[in-house]
Amino acid sequence: MFKDKIVIVTGSGSGIGKSIAKLFSKKGATVCATDLDLEKAKKTSEECTNRSYFYKLDVTNKIEIKETFTEISKTIGNYEILISNAGVSTMNYIEELTEEEWDFNINVNAKGVFLTNQEAISHFKRNKINGRIVNTASLAAKIGAPLLAHYSASKFAVVGFTQAAARETAKFGIRVNAVCPGFVKTSMQEREIAWEAKLRSLSSKQVIEDYISQTPLGRLEDPEDVAKVVLFLSGSDSDFMTGQAINVTGGIYTT
């Protein structure tokens, strides 16, 4: 399905992004793995089974995004798919939340989606490409999460932006969707478990048990669970879907 397709995946050095990159590669795509950590992006590229490339990319830097995406277009070919996945999190009670934490989450999670989508949309329109964009939102984009007010705000922004972008670009044959993962087993989640355990005076085991108890399917989510839905939204089987924020939560949230 993705043979001869060129896909850019941001935040692909670990976690969900890495699984997305590897699954695209397995399905025949040429993957451009990007991450703020160049060594992690390189490792992901090395684990891809098809032709792949890696780049250092700060998704909050408009100039760096333009330069990287332009280099990809000139040296590899016109990319047709953007997976805007790069994201960060911190945890705190609202009254303890710092401006630095707020700005960090908003800048990477919301501004990063805006800037990468903006560049990709310009590229698609300029080259008359029926491009596909999938943005990584979160369960926290559907229901505000305690200790994650700033993160929830940034991910709600991703969903709102996705809906607006989809309606604005549909007439150009561009589709823009989002995925909303739940409790995914990643290095980010490991950090969050430790933070939440401390903030709630619980053990890490109790936090994990709480996550699982909230999940009707009865387990933590694997990054591959998200990657499969991202591929669906990037392919022809979802041609009549745009502006959607698809829950991949094991049943935690169903609206």
Q: How far is CA 53 from its chain centroid?
A: 19
What would the mean pLDDT of 156-185 be, rounded to a whole number?
A: 98
Residue 84 near residue 135, CB atoms below 8 Å: yes
How many Cα atoms are found within 13 Å in the side-chain-facing hemisphere of 90? 17
- What does DSSP assign to residue 220? P
Which of these is catalytic: 79, 151, 211, 253?
Answer: 151
DSSP alpha helix (H) spans, the chain: 15-26, 38-47, 62-75, 99-105, 112-126, 149-169, 187-200, 204-214, 223-234
The whole-angstrom separation of Cα 22 and Cα 117 is 21
∠ CA(126), CA(18), CA(155), 5° rounding? 70
Residue 223 pLDDT greater than 90, yes or no: yes
Q: Report if pTM > 0.95.
A: yes
Given this model, what pLDDT does residue 253 score? 85
Mean pLDDT, the chain, integer: 97
Distance of CA 130 to the CA centre of its chain: 20
60-77 average pLDDT score: 98
CA pair distance 232, 133, nearest whole angstrom: 12
Comparing C-alpha atoms, which of 176, 213, 235 is closest to residue 29?
235
Backbone phi and psi for residue 224, each to the nearest 5 degrees, phi listed first: -65, -30
Average pLDDT over residues 17-44: 98
Residue 231 has a CB neighbour count (10 Å cut-off) of: 23
Beta strand 81-84 with 132-136 is: parallel
Contacts of 86 (CB under 8 A, 6+ apart): 10, 11, 17, 34, 35, 36, 57, 59, 108, 112, 116
Residue 254 pLDDT > 90, yes or no?
no
Does the pLDDT of residue 59 top 90, yes or no?
A: yes
In contact, 79 and 33? CB cutoff 8 Å: no
pLDDT of residue 1: 82
- The confidence score (pLDDT) of residue 255 equals 81
Q: Which residues does 89 contact at the CB level (< 8 Å), separation at least 6? A: 105, 148, 151, 188, 191, 192
Active site (annotated) includes residue 151: yes
For residue range 90-147, what is the model confidence (pLDDT) as tens digits?
Answer: 999 999 999 999 999 999 999 999 999 999 999 999 999 999 999 999 999 999 999 9
Question: If we measure between CA atoms, which residue out of 105, 104, 156 comes closest to residue 135?
Answer: 156
What pLDDT band is residue 240 in, cutting at 50, 70 and 90? very high
